[in-house]
Amino acid sequence: MEFTWTPEQLDLRSSTRRLLETRAPLARTRELAEAGQRRDEAAWSAMTQQAGLLALGVPEEHGGAGGSRVEQSLVFEEAGRVLLGGPLLPTVLAIEALLAAGDDAALEEHLPGLVEGERTATLAVLGSTGRWRPSSPTTVAARSGDGAVLSGTEELVLDGADADLLLVLARAEGGPTLYAVPRDAEGVTVERLDVLDLTRPMARLHLAAVPARPLGLTGGGAGVVERVHRAAAVLVAAEQVGAMDTLVARTAEYARTRRAFGRPIGAFQAVKHRLADMAVQLEMSRSAAAWAAFQDPGSADEAFGAAVAASYCGEAFLQAAKDTIQLHGGVGFTWEHDAHLFLRRARAAATLTGPPSEHRAALVPLVLPDLVAPGHTEVPS
Amino acid sequence: MTTTAPLTHRDLVADTARRVVAEHPPESTPRAEFLGACFDAGLAWVHFPRGSGGLGVEAGLQDVADSILQGAGGPVPFSINPMGYGMAGPTVVEHARPEVAAELLRPLATCEELWCQLFSEPGAGSDLAGLATRAVLDGDTWVVTGAKVWTSLAHRARRALLLARTDPDAPKHRGLTYFVLDMTDPGVEVRPLRQMTGAAEFNEVHLDGARIPDTHRLGEVGDGWRVAMTTLMNERRAIGGGSSRRGSGSIGAALQLWRERPDLRTPALRDRLTALFALADAARLTGERQRVESGDRPIGPEGSIGKLVGAELNQAVYDFCMDLLGVEATLYGSYDPPDGVDDETDEHAGPHDVQRAFLRSRANTIEGGTSEVLRNILGERLLGLPGDIRVDTGRPWREVPRG
């Protein structure tokens, strides 16, 4: 039932919080971001090998811990609290893609290493346009012997310079198809990008006749990516909630202690009311994100919940990040203060799975089904 | 050996409701008689004590009773006597002396006596505790003089919840006393108050020497503010309850208009509509989450979120509808009072009602707690921010400037 978490799930939340507070606190996130590093190795092995966070959502027959999107979203909420970036999100989404593609040989080959955290993976599915358009990939798959070779440019690939395995969406004869490519394969050129969100490195990948293995059915790639896209929207929304929670707590604390005109600034209604709005939007975001996580992956309810959460939480977190800076005054604008890390994350996360307006467009056929005429192009998919 | 499973409170409520429906078929039983049977069976407010319209069980079980009673075609008493059921009942049962509660509750529950609430005054809205209506003791009777405003149903109500000042020399919160007023008293005059929509949902009530027996005082003299808190907490709960159906409420009206008027659609308006829909759904889910998470416990300050968001959402939705209508938005239905309607309501029905709803929605952020007061509550009680500077604390009410 929605909004009812089991004791095990609540334990997972608190143990993940403890783990991240000790091994990957916000201060560590900042150090990594400033040093241009994708992860803290000790924290990564604690999260994966010890805590098994990547095994959540993976069925037991594939070496996972079972569980559902609810568990995953609890973990991402905690990750959002400390702005944990790096390989976590891309690897989880790649695991989702492998599972959705349902290719047994590929699952056997890749899943154990990914779940254990020994290897990492990422999606390269936005093509040269950098947009979520899984029905029209720009990378092209050509036949080569009994395999395929991929050529094209993949923009905005999360962790693309360092992930071990790339899952690339390419146009094949039978339709969009997902392929597995080792990042160090011959023909892959990596270009690191300067990014707004310093916690999430990205790369541009150039593929020049790179040998690749198809995953699942030829022509089934668009469906896999759509499914992963919804998972991404739900998990990013959970991250946004966690990050917003940190912002509300920290900014309220600042407003209770910082004094001006002889009073804590939180006593002034201009400050108090803006903070109240932050708290309201946090609670609303929490509801939207949690409801989406409780829906069955692949269901129409999940599509609905993901669209509402992505639209609402993305904008709410961005507003909270801006308000945090405003309410901190000058100190909030310094490099030393963490506020800009949140603003960077908020700005990037609001469009990571496509801009809020695209998520809202996806709501139209769900909210007003009678208005979608055949051939109508309201939904970008 | 046989064992009998203990009767859970839920079973008790459900069994009782089914028995009432069986013994008093709603379609053939007069309304007052049916509601009287519900009261006698303890289903009017299931959490009230037995004998006072309740069964002494969890308030959350009221839904169990209501769904059986109303599912069988029974009336919805809350919609007939909203102030009675929502606020007066809980206040009376908690604060009236037992024989007075016994006298008042049953006719309230049967809706033979409708109730209204005499709190706000022309000079006291958000600062309710600063109100000026005076009650002076004359023997064992209180004599009340003053003016109240924004009173729904006053013209049909038999009784009123009244907050009046009994000690002007005490600081404002400590000089108030709470009463139940008989609206048929000759010192009570009710005048309709025409609002900006043209309708008159509310009244002004002038009190000129209205008399109240001391037995109809709720709580101690000077303790009226505490008693009023019972009423106001129940008011927010009644308003904030809201619908939990996706796409209902004002956003439903906007979707309906969008369906009916394909000629008015533009991509920019579509994005606004879906953004409002996402907001409405996040608000709906927040209400649902708060209900699940609070269980049978009362909701804390976060309960104010539903009222705050719902009010601003309504305004944004009707702003959207007006923009959608374009030039047509400049028309208005009618300023004449509707024929044959006793109580004017401003609900959405008929042509040009978007315009009426647009005007009506301006009150949403004022009535039942202004958005400014709600933001103070959230800032102070949810986030622990310091209170406003108060210049009236501790000063006799008489000495505080008023406007």
Q: Looking at residue B390, what is its pLDDT?
A: 85
Q: Is the pLDDT of residue A371 over 70?
A: no
pLDDT category at B298 given cuts 50, 70, 90 is: low
Tell me how far CA of residue A217 lies from CA of A100, A142, A257, B45, B183, in angstroms.
Answer: 11, 16, 59, 60, 77
Which of A307, A305, A316, A306 has the alpha carbon at shortest distance from A350? A316
Cβ contacts of B369 on chain A, cutoff 8 Å: none
* Three-class secondary structure of residue A360 per DSSP: helix
Percentage of chain A modeled with pLDDT above 70? 97
pLDDT digits (tens, 9 = 90+) for B24-47: 999 999 999 999 999 999 999 999
What residue spans of chain A are helical by DSSP H? 7-23, 26-35, 41-45, 69-81, 88-101, 104-115, 221-257, 269-293, 300-328, 339-352, 356-367
Domains in chain A, ordered, with CATH?
A: 7-115 (1.10.540.10), 121-218 (2.40.110.10), 223-371 (1.20.140.10)
Q: Do A3 and B288 touch (CB under 8 A)?
A: yes
Q: Which of the four pLDDT bands, split at 50, 70 and 90, describes residue B335?
A: confident
Are the C-beta atoms of residues B32 and B111 closer than 8 Å to each other? yes
Residue type, B212: I
In this structure, are residues B32 and B38 in contact, taking their beta carbons and an 8 Å threshold? no
Nearest to B177 by CA among B117, B226, B213, B235: B226
Closest-CA residue of chain A to B275: A360
> What distance in Å separates the CA atoms of residue A215 and residue A125, rounded to the nearest whole number?
14
- Chain A residue with minimal CA distance to B268? A357
- Is it the case that residue B351 has pLDDT exceeding 70? no
The answer to whether the CB atoms of A368 and B375 lie below 8 A apart is no
Q: Per the structure block, which two tokens stand in for A23?
A: 């091994």
Residue A35 forms contact with B (CB below 8 Å): no
Q: Cβ–Cβ of A360/B389 closer than 8 Å?
A: no
Say how far apart CA A174 and CA A155 lie, in whole Å.
Answer: 23
Could you say which of A272, A290, A367 has the minimum Cβ distance to residue B289?
A: A290
Asked if the Cβ–Cβ distance from B274 to A361 is below 8 Å, we say: yes
Residues of chain A positioned with their CB less than 8 A from the CB of B313: none
Domain residue extents for chain B: 12-109, 115-230, 241-369
Mutate to test the interface with A, among B273, B289, B388 (most CBs of A within 10 A): B289
**Whether the predicted pLDDT of B2 surpasses 50:** no
Chain B hits for A271, Cβ within 8 Å: 385
Phi then psi dihedrals of residue A186, to 5 deg:
-65, 135
On the question of pLDDT at B340 being above 50, the answer is no
Dist CA A248 CA B349 (whole Å) = 41
Are the CB atoms for A49 and A117 separated by under 8 Å?
yes
Note the CATH architecture for domain B12-109.
Orthogonal Bundle (1.10)
- Say what the pLDDT of residue B350 is: 55
Q: Is the pLDDT of residue A191 over 80?
A: yes
pLDDT, mean of residues B139-143: 97
Average confidence score pLDDT of chain A: 94
> What residues of B are labeled active site?
235
- What is B115-230's CATH number, 3.40.462.40, 2.40.110.10, 3.40.50.300, 3.40.50.620? 2.40.110.10
Q: How confident is the model at residue B81 (pLDDT cuts 50, 70, 90)?
A: very high
Instruction: Select the residue of B275, B293, B305 nearest A280 (Cβ to Cβ).
Output: B305
Q: Please name the residues between 124 and 153 in chain A that touch chain B, using a CB distance below 8 Å.
A: none
Predicted local distance difference test score (pLDDT) of residue B84 = 95
Q: Which residues of B touch A276 (CB under 8 A)?
A: 374-376, 378-379, 382-383
Residue A376 has pLDDT above 70, yes or no: no
What average pLDDT does this structure show over A88-109? 96
Q: Give the integer Cα–Cα distance in Å for B361 and B315.
A: 5
Q: To the nearest whole angstrom, how far is the Cα of A370 from the nearest Cα of chain B?
A: 8
- Check CB contact under 8 Å for A3 and B289: yes
B347 touches A: beta carbon within 8 Å: no
The answer on pLDDT for B237 being more than 80 is no
Nearest CA in chain B to A357: B271
Give the pLDDT band (50/70/90) at residue B238: low
CB pair distance less than 8 Å for A287 and B286: yes
Q: Residue B235's pLDDT is what?
A: 65
Pairwise pLDDT comparison (A15 vs B402), residue with the higher score: A15
Report in angstroms the alpha-carbon separations of A77 from A70, A97, B37, B100, B288: 11, 21, 51, 53, 20
What pLDDT sits at residue B374? Answer: 95
Residues 6 or more apart whose Cβ sits within 8 Å of residue B229: none
Residue B30 burial class via C-beta count within 10 angstroms: exposed 0-12, middle 13-18, buried 19 and up: exposed
> Using CB atoms, which residue from A256, A263, A279 is nearest to B382?
A279
Q: What's residue B207's pLDDT?
A: 98
Shortest distance, CA B396 to any CA of chain A (angstroms): 24
Phi and psi at B84, nearest 5°, equal -65, -55
Q: Which residue of A has its CA nearest to B248?
A: A367
- Name the residue among B374, B376, B383 with its Cβ closest to that of A252: B383
**Model confidence over B119-135: pLDDT tens digits?**
999 999 999 999 999 99
Distance CA A58, CA B191 (A): 68
ipTM of the complex: 0.93
Residues of chain B found within 8 Å of residue A256, distances taken between Cβ atoms: 384-386
Model confidence at A344, pLDDT cuts 50, 70, 90, reads very high
Which residues on chain A are in Cβ contact (under 8 Å) with B372? Answer: 269, 273
Fold held by B241-369? Butyryl-CoA Dehydrogenase, subunit A; domain 3 (1.20.140)
Residue A373: its pLDDT value, please?
47
Start-to-end CA span in chain A (Å): 30
Chain A hits for B278, CB-CB cut-off 8 Å, are: 288, 307-308, 311-312, 360, 363
Tokens representing A46 are 């604690």
Average pLDDT of span A267-284: 98
Task: Tell if the CB–CB gap between B275 and A288 is shorter than 8 Å.
Answer: no
pLDDT > 50? residue B395: yes
Tell me whether A300 touches chain B (CB under 8 Å). Answer: no
Residue A251: what pLDDT?
A: 98
3-class state of residue B369 by DSSP: coil
A368/B contact by beta carbon, under 8 A = yes
Q: What is the pLDDT of residue B240?
A: 47
Nearest to A367 among B247, B302, B380 (CB): B247
Contact predicate A199/A341, CB 8 Å: yes
Region A194-213 average pLDDT:
97
Q: What is the DSSP code string of B134-187?
A: EEEEETTEEEEEEEEEEEETTTT-SEEEEEEES-TTSBGGGGEEEEEEETTSTT
Q: Which residues of A28-66 are buried (b: 16+ CB within 10 A; e: fewer)?
A: bbbebbeeeebbbeebbbbbbeebbbbbbbbeeebebbe
- pLDDT-based confidence at residue B301 (cuts at 50, 70, 90): confident
